[in-house]
Amino acid sequence: MNKATAYHDELGDFFARNADTSPYNAYTDRPAMLQLAGDVSGARILDVGCAAGHYASELLARGAQVVGVDGSATLVRHARVRVNDEAELHVHDLEKPLHFATDASFDGIVCALVIHHIRNRSQLLAELRRVLRPGGWLLVSTTHPTADWRRFGGSYYSHEWSELPVANGTMSIHYQRMPLETFLGELLAAGFVLEQLIEPRPTSDLEEIDASAYDKLHQAPCFLAVKLRRP
């Protein structure tokens, strides 16, 4: 992510704290993506947009070797603490080629809630295909198009860049809306094969902690997640 979309400074600190217990991150997207990943023991995984290291930490605990990359130095600092330096982490603008990674050097790639922040998605997807070994998997999650349609209104087919207020409106997240056909179309055009698509629901643990959030996230989708393969 570039300067306009990466979570720098106060926004990075807020996200690092919030992702620990957020109904959206901790109980919906993260469990769904880890379930899609399956058995990662011994696998070398690239965590694209690794943020504060929550996914990297979970993957390490499951026996994976992890390389993480994020455009925010603030978040990478949090990630280093979270993974206790057990993962290789890079501060890197995802709008630029992944010069630190060699061809076919990863068994799997996790790209959680990142793709909608990227402007040059075709370049990033080409780079992900390059560094993924043949037969390797790619996991991608994004905001659900219908959730953005409900939130911002206008046309479902909008590709506009939007500002989502967070932290009681004191900060905002900058990202691009896109319909399902754009999201999937770009992944398929990049040469990946779709294996599974899910609309993640929160885990049952959330019901005991925040029943209203649990009910809300079971009524309408918030995220969309896919598992793809490189042929």
Say which residues have a Cβ less than 8 Å from residue 81's Cβ, sequence separation at least 6. 53
> What is the Cα–Cα distance from 190 to 159, expressed in whole angstroms?
19
The full set of domains in the chain, from first to last, is 9-142+160-229 (3.40.50.150)
- pTM of the predicted model over 0.85: yes
pLDDT band at 5 (very low <50, low <70, confident <90, very high): low
Q: What would the pLDDT profile of 89-113 be if each residue is shown by its tens digit?
A: 999 999 999 999 999 999 999 999 9
- The beta-strand segments (E) located in 22-154 are 44-48, 65-70, 88-91, 106-112, 132-143
58-71 pLDDT, tens digit each: 999 999 999 999 99
The tens digit of pLDDT for each residue in 111-136 reads 999 999 999 999 999 999 999 999 99
Model confidence pLDDT, tens digit, residues 157-173:
999 999 999 888 888 88
**Could you report the per-residue pLDDT of 204-223, keeping only the tens digit for each?**
999 999 999 999 999 999 99
Contacts of 90 (CB under 8 A, 6+ apart): 67, 68, 69, 70, 76, 100
Per-residue DSSP letter, 117: G
